[in-house]
């Protein structure tokens, strides 16, 4: 082990340490720019320092892991160093074999690290697009799918619809039963709304008690009305949990492409306006942004 002590801070180990720390710091510097493409977060000075510090720590951990791997691999080789110097060729062969094992284990460690980073990237990307409470797509994934659906509808001269749904009297649930009950209600609502959506549609939770539904491949506008009615029917049954029965209704606003806008922001905004129009009628109904007479022309 005396040999190991001598190489502990040798040039090779120092270079490895510098490399791992620099890679970690680079990851820490670039992480805020990477994550800002998926989630809304304030990238201030403190957040940058925290990321760089975390990267530095990750670099040290990687260095220690690789260093321990090398020491475990080198130990049997060093123990045979004296025999090698005496010209025992069978030991020399063993030395060469164990040297190959070092590089093999190091290669496996590098491949494992790369795989872990890839899995972490995919998991982060998934989490950035999914609503944690309901498991539905969030506003970012919905906006991405809506943009793609609009491009497709424009090329194929198709129509699509965006539903903007808002629960009626949801604040009352949070104020009287607590936020835990409110969260359970949102999960139950998401489950019922999934029943109404088709396989090719996208149901998303936009935040709070707001949900959006993207309906594509519409052959006739009556399909939009039928889906809206099915959603309202899902709220005719009370929601039951923890011994409480809640009669919750929903207000629905609907915007149709291309009548109510040709870009995602305009269509979502107009669906939101139609939703508030439904709320003014005491909720539990749906409203189309465009007038019925105009809408009938696209049948």
Query: What does the DSSP 8-state code read for residue 297?
Result: G
Domain ranges of the chain: 2-128, 139-298
d(CA 73, CA 76): 7
Distance of CA 111 to the CA centre of its chain: 25
Residue 50 DSSP SS3: helix
d(CA 197, CA 209): 18
CATH class, domain 139-298, is: alpha beta
d(CA 38, CA 35): 5
Count CB-CB contacts under 10 A for residue 108.
11
- State the catalytic residues: 209
Please list the pLDDT of the chain residue by residue as tens digits (299 residues): 444 444 444 555 666 666 666 766 676 666 666 655 555 455 566 666 766 677 667 667 766 776 676 666 655 555 555 555 555 545 555 555 555 665 566 666 666 666 666 666 565 555 678 998 999 999 999 999 999 999 999 999 999 999 999 999 898 888 888 888 999 999 999 999 999 998 899 999 999 999 999 999 888 888 899 999 999 999 999 998 777 788 999 999 999 999 999 999 999 999 999 999 999 988 889 999 985 444 444 44
Sequence length of the chain is 299
pLDDT at 113: 62
Query: What does the DSSP 8-state code read for residue 219?
Result: S
pLDDT at 231: 96
pLDDT at 91: 53
pLDDT at 61: 75
Whether 168 contacts 283, CB under 8 Å: yes
- By C-alpha distance, which of 263, 139, 266 is closest to 211? 139
Residue 167's DSSP bridge partners are 250
CB-based contacts of 239, cutoff 8 Å, min separation 6 = 185, 188, 189, 245, 246, 248
d(CA 109, CA 269): 51
């Amino acid at each position: 082990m005396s040999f190991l002590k001598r190489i502990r801070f040798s040039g090779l180990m120092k270079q490895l340490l510098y490399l791992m720390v620099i890679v970690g710091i680079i990851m820490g510097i670039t992480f805020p720019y990477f994550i800002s493409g998926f989630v809304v977060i304030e990238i201030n000075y403190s957040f940058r320092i925290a990321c760089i510090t975390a990267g530095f720590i990750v670099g040290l951990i990687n260095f220690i892991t690789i260093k321990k791997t090398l020491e475990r691999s080198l130990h049997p080789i060093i123990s045979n160093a004296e025999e090698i110097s005496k010209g025992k060729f069978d030991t020399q062969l063993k030395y060469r074999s164990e040297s190959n094992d070092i590089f093999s284990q190091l290669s496996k460690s590098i491949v494992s690290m790369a795989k872990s980073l890839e899995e972490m990237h995919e998991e982060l990307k998934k989490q950035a697009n999914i609503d944690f409470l309901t498991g539905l797509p969030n506003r970012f994934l919905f906006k991405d799918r809506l943009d793609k659906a609009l491009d497709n509808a424009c090329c194929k001269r198709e129509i699509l619809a965006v539903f903007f749904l808002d629960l009626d009297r949801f604040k009352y649930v949070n104020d009287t039963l607590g936020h835990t009950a409110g969260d359970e209600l949102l999960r139950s609502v998401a489950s019922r709304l999934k029943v109404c959506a088709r396989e090719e549609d996208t149901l998303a939770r936009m935040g709070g008690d707001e949900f959006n539904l993207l309906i594509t491949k519409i052959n006739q506008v009556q399909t939009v009305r039928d889906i809206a009615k099915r959603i309202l029917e899902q709220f005719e049954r009370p929601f039951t949990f923890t011994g409480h029965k809640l009669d919750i209704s929903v207000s629905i606003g609907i915007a149709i492409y291309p009548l109510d806008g040709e870009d995602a922001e305009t269509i979502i905004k107009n669906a939101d306006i139609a939703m508030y129009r439904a709320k003014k009628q005491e909720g539990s109904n749906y409203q189309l942004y465009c007038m019925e007479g105009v809408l009938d022309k696209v049948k």
